[in-house]
Amino acid sequence: MASLTSKPRNFGAYSHYATPCTRTHQIGALFLVVSTFFVTRLFDQWFSESNSVTPAIDLRLTSSNAGITTENGILRWPERGYGSHLSLKIYVYDENEIDGLKELLYGRDESVKTTACLKGQWGSQVKIHKLLLESKFRTIKKHEADLFFVPAYVKCVRMLGGLNDKEINQTYVKVLSQMPYFRRSGGRDHIFVFPSGAGAHLFRSWSTFINRSIILTPEADRTDKKDTTAFNTWKDIIIPGNVDDAMTKNGQPDVRPLPVSKRKYLANYLGRAQGKAGRLKLIELSKQYPDKLECPDLKFSGTEKFGRTTYFEHLRNAKFCLAPRGESSWTLRFYESFFVECVPVLLSDHAELPFQNVIDYAQVSIKWPSTRIGTELLDYLASISDKDIEGMISRGRKIRCLLVYGPDSASCSAVKGILWELQRKVRHFHQSTETFWMHNGSFVNRELVQFSGWKPPMPLP
């Protein structure tokens, strides 16, 4: 056995011909490594940009810039976790394809009109559906789809009397039972939109049937109102509230912002009290300080009802727009504030906001404890200089395009942001309790029938 102190063996076949490694050789080798690294990085960057389907958006902040960074005037989306470009194929179910789907869109007798559903908080259900139908990422081939979109306007349909809660539940189950691809994945690659504070609870049996599906909703955490939240941070996506189209038009909104120095009020709250503690505190505070805080007793019917234009004219007349919680944590007023260019002040402790991986909301808004609504809040807001207010407003202009439900062909829109988030949710592994696979990659059910032979309607758990 060789001794530990023995001479090391030379395994080089031609080692006796080897040229000694000089300092010149070392410097040359180091230069080669460094130059190769930089050339590779430049090539990767060029390849990533030249193959990008859509402009990237990145709203991350830098320590040298208090505002939101741009590159050549284009907002950049971070590559980490998202990929360098959008590459999705989404199948949108047709309303005539599945028995019962029309009822989820237009009610039991198809009496609910789509135009009526475009308004208010539930408008995002309609807009996302219509924009995906026009999207370049839409596919008409189910077998090649990464994701499947299930259109429904149930919030609107319910509010307008088209279906009651029991009918919504029964119709959803009926529709899902006719979807072989839903059954194949257990719903993991299917997308549902629930645009109100109730979230997926609009579908009472959501926890049985779509608890694995991707849910788009403005309401993230409902545990403050329900025993179980329907939102899962791993698979679901927070979406912006639906701001009136008349205010989101690029360059030509119906109501234009006022200069900060010409605004009448320090702050305002435009909404009903609804018996909510935070809102009631604000109304009482406005009575003590009517010259600082505007809280009109809004009427939603009758001759005293605020019209759309009047509402936004009042909203723009304050430096800060207060957004307390209502029945649930999210508030549309937070999003509306960006379009009249007042600084939104979030007074909802549980609220979660869309695109948090991209937008630093601390740069464009304020969040204040709902338990400390009072003169302390007004004193704090009054201490903020107009220069600082204008800085926050300016940064808000850069990100508000992500709050507008425009087409994905736009360089920046809510739908573009949702597509980026959806890209992170794609799972190519079709796993469900009712799906099995063979050595050749074919999928079968419990009866060992190949997927191509599955026939609806299929029983659901």
Q: Which domains does the chain have, with CATH numbers?
A: 90-241+423-428 (no CATH), 245-404 (3.40.50.2000)
**How far apart (Å, rounded) are the C-alpha atoms in residues 171 and 152?**
11
The pLDDT, as a whole number, for residue 303 is 64
Please tell me whether the peptide bond between 457 and the residue prior to it is cis, using omega within 30 degrees of 0.
yes
pLDDT computed for residue 458 by the predictor: 86
pLDDT at res. 299: 62
CA atoms of 457 and 102, how far apart (whole Å) = 17
pLDDT at residue 47, as a whole number:
40
CA 115 to chain centre: 23
**pLDDT value of residue 82:** 81
Q: How far apart are CA 218 and CA 371, in angstroms?
A: 23
Q: 3-state class of 20 per DSSP?
A: coil
Q: Pick out the chain residues at pLDDT < 70.
A: 1-77, 221-227, 299-304, 461
pLDDT, residue 267, reads 98
Structure tokens at 214: 């991707």
Q: What single DSSP character describes residue 301?
A: S
| CB of 263 closer than 8 Å to CB of 257 | no
User: Which neighbouring-strand residues pair with 190?
Assistant: 148
What pLDDT, on the 0 to 100 scale, is given for residue 12?
Answer: 41
Q: Is the dihedral of CA 413, 414, 419, 424 positive or negative?
A: positive
pTM of the model: 0.83
- Whole-number pLDDT of residue 302: 64
Q: Please tell me what DSSP assigns to residue 265.
A: E
